[in-house]
Amino acid sequence: MIPYHKTICILALLFTLSSCKNLRKEKTTIEVIDNNRHYYPILAGQKLNMVFVVKNTGKAPFILSDLFTSCGCLTSDKSSIKAIPPGKEGNLILQYNSIKNVGLVQQYITIYGNLATSDKYEITFDIHVVPNGLYTKDFEEMYEEEKQKDGGIKNMVDGNENNKGYYVN
């Protein structure tokens, strides 16, 4: 026979887990403050740090299920939007690396979660990436510079030898 206090703990645990599943089913709305941004030009090879404020405008907690970026040049290491209570805000922190781009660049970040109006929410921004005025380096020169800086750029650009994917004729 299970002791009385263990039974209560087990019931409390089951109630907590079932309430988490119910939160994911509840739908809500979000708003991104200053979406569709136009950043000032930067030099090719520079990095840009961005913070997008995501506000939960609904009555249920927003639970982030996935986040996709339109380019590998966008990374998100730290963010506080895994779950946002109703009426509160979270920060989506991204870094854009302009090493591979020149000219007008438009990027998209797609947020998936328990959204009421759609299955996704899209954040956009654009930026002009300007080559150095004294000398325009080609990709191989920029690649060699980055490779000498941190040594790991070869895998970032080419990928690991065991993860090349496939092609079709």
Query: Read out DSSP for 86-113?
Result: TT-EEEEEEEEE-TT--EEEEEEEEEEE
DSSP assignment of 140-163 equals HHHHHHHHHHHS-HHHHHH--TT-
H/E stretch holding 24: helix 4-25
In this prediction, residue 146 carries a pLDDT of 73
**1 occurs within a structural domain:** no
Among 95, 94, 20, 91, smallest CA distance to 60 is for: 20
Q: For the whole model, what pTM was predicted?
A: 0.66
In this prediction, residue 17 carries a pLDDT of 46
In this prediction, residue 162 carries a pLDDT of 46
**21 occurs within a structural domain:** no
Per-residue confidence of the chain (169 residues) as pLDDT tens digits? 556 555 565 555 555 544 455 555 799 999 999 899 999 999 888 999 999 999 999 999 999 998 999 988 898 876 768 899 999 999 999 999 998 888 999 999 999 999 988 889 999 999 999 887 777 777 777 777 777 765 555 555 565 544 455 555 5
**100 occurs within a structural domain:** yes
**39 occurs within a structural domain:** yes
In this prediction, residue 114 carries a pLDDT of 93
**The domain that contains 41 carries what CATH number?**
2.60.40.10
**73 occurs within a structural domain:** yes
Q: How many domains does the chain divide into?
A: 1
Question: Residue 51's domain spans which residues?
Answer: 27-158
Residue 122, exposed/middle/buried by CB under 10 A (0-12, 13-18, 19+)?
middle
